[in-house]
Amino acid sequence: MNPMTRLILRVLGIVLTLTLFALALVWGYRRAGEPEACRSITYILADGDERVYVFRNELEGMLHSLDIHPVGRRVDQLSLQRIENTVRQHPMVRTAECYITPWHDVRVVITQRVPLLRVLTAEGTYLIDTDRRLMQARPAVKDSVLRVTGQVEMTMAAGQLADFAFWLRDNRYWRPRIDHVHIRSAEMAVILLRDKRQPHVLIGRMDDYEKKLHKLQLFLDKGREATQDKQYTELDLRYAGQVVAR
């Protein structure tokens, strides 16, 4: 092989090597710049220490049913807003926030709905939550909340009775003493005390209950022995300045 041919082959070899090296660099940069696939999804219950009403299998089923489950999909193709909106449709979810970690994992932070009162009527049982919204009465919901029975309209449950439940929740004296409220009509609410020896308490309309129950508190503290007598079946708070015992 003459020197000229050897030189040409050497030059061609160098050019080929440089070309392959350049292609490798370009391919490597492209690979480094390609969005990674989502590796996992984690659901975090922010209030999970207090209650667990939302379960992973339920959320997984919701995302799969809409074909928006993120695992295995490129992170640049994920719609975090759709995932958030879908998780919020769960009947026990109050809020949901979705984000992607630097490790390409999807996290969904959830707060759950909090029951305020439980309503039991002839038509069925339901809950009112702390946002005054209708909430399913699921077996998993074991919070100790005010019970209301009788002729309860939804507007009353989410209005006056929710007001009373908020007030009762923060009242140290009455919270452990009141068992439940029975609604005979819009004009007559009856409070049943946990101490079964005590008479039923007629409160009338669900207004001014703070004053009415303060009046009853003074009466019970001063006349506890008298009210435990079985001849009294009712204590009526509807009259100003007095408790009528029957």
Domain that holds residue 102: 40-112
235 and 177 in one domain?
yes
pLDDT value of position 26: 45
Answer yes or no: is 136 within a domain. Answer: yes
CATH number of the domain at 203, please: 3.40.50.11690
| pTM for the model | 0.78
Answer yes or no: is 207 within a domain. Answer: yes
182 and 84 in one domain?
no
Per-residue DSSP letter, 160: I
133 and 73 in one domain?
no
Domain final position from 87, 112, 137? 112
pLDDT along the chain (246 residues), means of 10: 56 53 48 75 94 95 96 91 96 96 94 96 93 92 93 94 96 95 94 89 92 90 61 87 85
130 and 101 in one domain?
no
pLDDT value of position 222: 77
Count of domains observed in the chain: 2
Answer yes or no: is 98 within a domain. Answer: yes
Answer yes or no: is 223 within a domain. Answer: yes
73 and 169 in one domain?
no
CA distance 215 to 218: 5
Answer yes or no: is 24 within a domain. Answer: no
- CA 25 vs CA 15, 33, 131: distances in Å: 15, 12, 58
223 and 171 in one domain?
yes
Answer yes or no: is 5 within a domain. Answer: no
239 and 122 in one domain?
yes
pLDDT value of position 101: 92
Domain final position from 112, 130, 154? 112
pLDDT value of position 17: 55
pLDDT value of position 245: 84
Q: Which residues of 65-89 are buried (b: 16+ CB within 10 A; e: fewer)?
A: eeebbbeeeebeebebeebbebbee
**H-helix or E-strand spanning residue 218:** helix 209-222
Answer yes or no: is 49 within a domain. Answer: yes
CATH number of the domain at 84, please: 3.10.20.310
